[in-house]
Structure 1
Amino acid sequence: MSEAEVRALEGELEALCASVDDVFARPASRENLRAMVRGLLSEVPRKNLWQLAEAAGHPNPDRLQGFLAKAAWDADELRDRVRAFAVAALAADDAVLIADETGDIKKGTKSAGVQRQYTGTAGRVENAQVSVHLSYGSGKGRTLIDSELYLGRNWAGTSAEHERRCAEQGIPPERASAVATKPELARRMLERALAASVPFTYFLADEAYGQCRALRAWLEEHHVRYVLAIPKTEVLPLPDGRTRQARELRALVPEETFERRSCADGAKGPREYDWAAVQLAPTAHDLE
């Protein structure tokens, strides 16, 4: 957004920040929150702390670094407030929840969750932090409403080294004892959305989540409608008790049954997919 556009929203931004002032213990933290929000919305070319501090008129990034590293606030309460604000603005009959992940490439080893792992940001294995996010979207717009940091084997374990590293970064013991898979993290965020009565029609995610039978079974048990991508080799249960791979079911469906629909416009035009319905049995956790 241009500086003029940010200034035009000054009243709304102040009202938004004021609505969460009580989450932050100190007045300085509330001021730094406003500086961060305005900087992230502005035309600052790189959203690092040096440039955000410069946009805020600070001589160096010390204030913003201290805010992120040391300031005390209730992160769960802030997350819930942001989710409520977003849902109130974007709720519609076509609203959906979307799970996906993103990675931030890092050079060091101290940041919580950082390790060599695949990240779609780079399209390869890199030293990175990876988080799973839950987005809320409708015809009115879309935004992130929740997130969970992925902790791989370098971080989650029961050794003294695992405990030391996690304690240094403030990672709760319940998160540090065992690796939670990305589908498990998505389920945790869905549980919070359901508990908060977030209105939505479908839960959407790619193959990384769709191939998790435990997640699909949980969705069905909680009557959550979903559209998930799966591998063509995924084994699916049929009403008569048999099972077939997804590609085998695809081959059995007559071509004239498929309907072509566009999910949205992409960089090269409409992104079109062929759809057909096949009746399945409920997903079992231990399906072979």
Structure 2
Amino acid sequence: MAEVREGLETFTAELFEAFSRADQRRWGRAYVRGLLLDGRRKSVEPMAARLGEDGNRQALAHFVTSSPWDPAHVRARLAWTMQEAIGPTALIVDDTGFLKDGDASACVSRQYTGTAGKVTNCQAGVSLHLAADHASAPVDWRLFLPAAWDPASSEADTDKVARRERCQIPAVVGHVEKWQLALDMIDESRSWGVDVPLVVADAGYGDATAFRLGLEERDLAYAVGISSRISAHLGHARPVTPPYQGSGRPPVAKYPDKPMTVKELVVAAGREAARPVSWREGSRPGKGQSGFKRMYSRFVALRIRPAGREIRQATCGPELPERWLLAEWPATEPEPVQFWLSSLPSGMPLASLVRLAKLRWRIENDYREMKQALGLAHFEGRTWNGWHHHVTLVSVAHAFCTLQRLTRDPKGAAQG
């Protein structure tokens, strides 16, 4: 136990070196230690009760809520450390909900969150994680500001706008779509020197054509979930120029057939196009079961050309770019159940394509650990800076746990 605490002191000392004052470094270390101690609630008061000589509730509350430290400095150091420790193969972006009873906290609104599986009163945080098959770590965060909180929006809510000052939301912060927040975090991580060539996300991001185009502009490959309604042509389709009649503007090349939805393309390929793939080991669910089971399903992979006005406008020339369409079609299902779009190379083996597309399980594993064990959703402060401070410190605690696991078993995967 003493060895673990000494390791935590060394780890946090490196991350908090940028703090300008000794008291910030002290209370930063104490806060992270409080997050790691056993206990159901990880808000300031119960943590202070468990911290012994460092259990100064007022000092801890001031540090996380009001102390003027920039979380980006800690996140950059965290990213450097975890990039070296993990050797990430992908950046994963996603968002998670922070359920709230009242409406006084920054950016609380009625909105959909997968945390509750419905529209409810909550904050939404977008996060970026470094990930490999065996480990992952959140290194950057954004608090999503709904349009109702933005005085410049046509959807502005007078009461919510009035609460901005009390919640200490900077005047420059307005409503930005989650996919744009994800691109902003990717840009920030690259400015820190984090260079990971693949981005993974779910359909909440993959359905946004502007997000995919933004990744392509940054020369980043992607494997992103998409909904079944996304339209495309098959990869072998080519645009055709109609014959010129000798009057008016010459006709432009276009695809002779209308695009189909990705679901229609996979169904047309048929069940016989699906191939079995096992991509990782997962824990066995249920009581009385131990060990691991192989994650297994059947997948169809097609080369397609995604359609749509934004893609046509961004494409130089009449030919749309070719991409992977991956669909999961279990043997027990009458139709495909999940879809991905990827810009990975055309020669990518199916097993590798599936493994990378499915890597998003890591972020779900991270959210579960941070919420169940490290108090991610337990912050009771109401300010913009307080939220960003808390999620950063939870990320530090999560990273320490990850490093401890890697020390014990460098090649072992944390199963989920």
User: TM-score scaled by structure 1?
Assistant: 0.86
1:35 matched to 2:30? The reply is yes
Which stretch shows the higher mean deviation, 233-242 or 135-144?
233-242
Alpha-carbon deviation of 1:96? 1.6
Which stretch shows the higher mean deviation, 54-63 or 179-188?
54-63
| 2:181 equivalent among 182, 185, 188 | 185
User: Equivalents in 2 of 1:195, 1:155: separation in Å?
Assistant: 29
Residue aligning to 2:373: none
**Higher Rg:** 2
User: Equivalents in 2 of 1:165, 1:271: separation in Å?
Assistant: 47
Q: Any residues of structure 2 matched to 1:268-279 within 5 Å, and which?
A: 268=285, 269-279=293-303
1:52 matched to 2:35? The reply is no
| 1:119 equivalent among 94, 98, 113 | 113
Residue aligning to 1:173: 171
Q: Matched residue of 1:45: which SS?
A: coil
Alpha-carbon deviation of 1:51? 1.9
| 2:209 equivalent among 181, 206, 213 | 213
Q: Any residues of structure 2 matched to 1:49-198 within 5 Å, and which?
A: 49-57=44-52, 61-92=57-88, 95-158=89-152, 164-176=162-174, 179-198=175-194
Unmatched runs of 5 consecutive residues or more in structure 1? none
Alpha-carbon deviation of 1:193? 2.7
Residue aligning to 2:226: 230
User: Equivalents in 1 of 2:299, 2:3: separation in Å?
Assistant: 44
Residue aligning to 1:250: 266
For the aligned residue pairs, the C-alpha RMSD in angstroms reads 2.5
| 2:6 equivalent among 3, 11, 29 | 11
Alpha-carbon deviation of 1:47? 1.5
Judged with a 3 Å threshold, the aligned counterparts in structure 2 of structure 1 residues 170 and 133 are, in CA distance, closer, same or farther, namely same
Q: 1:39·1:55 contact (CA, 8 Å) conserved in 2?
A: yes
Alpha-carbon deviation of 1:166? 2.6
- Residue 260 of structure 1 aligns with an amino acid whose one-letter code is P
User: Equivalents in 1 of 2:74, 2:195: separation in Å?
Assistant: 20
User: Equivalents in 2 of 1:187, 1:22: separation in Å?
Assistant: 28
User: Equivalents in 1 of 2:196, 2:278: separation in Å?
Assistant: 20
Unmatched runs of 5 consecutive residues or more in structure 2? 239-254, 286-292, 313-416
Q: Matched residue of 1:110: which SS?
A: coil
User: TM-score scaled by structure 2?
Assistant: 0.61
Q: 1:216·1:283 contact (CA, 8 Å) conserved in 2?
A: no
Which stretch shows the higher mean deviation, 261-270 or 188-197?
261-270
Q: Matched residue of 1:279: which SS?
A: strand
Aligned residues: 279
User: Equivalents in 1 of 2:141, 2:219: separation in Å?
Assistant: 23
Judged with a 3 Å threshold, the aligned counterparts in structure 2 of structure 1 residues 151 and 56 are, in CA distance, closer, same or farther, namely same
User: Equivalents in 1 of 2:206, 2:284: separation in Å?
Assistant: 25
